[in-house]
């Protein structure tokens, strides 16, 4: 007979609910900047690593390129990034922040400040928590039990 762990005792639910709470905290600031959270992530990847291909951005965010492409197009339309075909390989689309995109990303520091203030955690505590969560994610990805993950599936 299998015993069931109450929802609040399941790490997967705690991480999910915390992620949703963070997104709700960020939303008013992102709305004021005129971007969505996924668009913020794309800008962050480009600010972190410079010009990249759509495939590289997708890999970094653990998303499909078909998910990244519409985000990139909307950001380009907003003047926050530029796209160009790789002259050596026309199949590749290179993406880079524009000056406006860099300025907007610089403004997004308010997200971290808000998270720190609302969480009550110190910077070292937040870094430690983040490192522990990243270690968990890396362990789960490294040992997926021989099963390939379906990013669209919901599981505990």
For the chain, which residues make up each domain, given as ranges? 7-142
Determine how β-strand 52-53 pairs with β-strand 81-86: unpaired
DSSP H helices, 50-98, are 54-61, 65-77
Q: Choose among 13, 8, 1: nearest CA to 155.
A: 13
The pLDDT assigned to 148 comes to 52
The pLDDT assigned to 147 comes to 57
- CATH architecture classification, 7-142: Orthogonal Bundle (1.10)
Largest Cα–Cα separation, the chain: 61
50: left (phi over 0), alpha (psi -120 to 50) or beta: left
Burial state string for 1-16 with b = 16 or more CB within 10 A and e = fewer than 16: eeeeeeeeeeeeeeee
> From the first residue on, what is the mean pLDDT of each consecutive set of 10 residues in the chain (156 residues)?
84 96 96 96 96 94 94 96 89 94 94 95 96 95 66 42
The pLDDT assigned to 3 comes to 79
């Amino acid at each position: 007979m299998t015993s069931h762990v109450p929802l609040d005792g399941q790490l997967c639910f705690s991480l999910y609910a915390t992620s949703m709470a963070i997104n709700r905290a960020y939303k008013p600031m992102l709305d004021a900047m005129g971007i969505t959270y996924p668009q913020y992530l794309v800008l962050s990847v480009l600010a972190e690593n410079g010009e990249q291909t759509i495939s590289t951005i997708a890999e970094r965010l653990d998303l499909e390129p078909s998910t990244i492409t519409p985000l990139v197009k909307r950001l380009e339309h907003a003047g926050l990034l530029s796209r160009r075909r790789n002259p050596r390989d026309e199949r590749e689309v290179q993406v880079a922040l524009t000056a406006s995109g860099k300025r907007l990303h610089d403004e997004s520091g308010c997200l971290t400040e808000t998270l720190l203030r609302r969480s009550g955690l110190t910077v070292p505590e937040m870094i430690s928590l983040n490192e522990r969560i990243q270690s968990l994610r890396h362990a789960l990805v490294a040992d997926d039990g021989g099963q390939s993950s379906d990013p669209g599936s919901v599981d505990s």
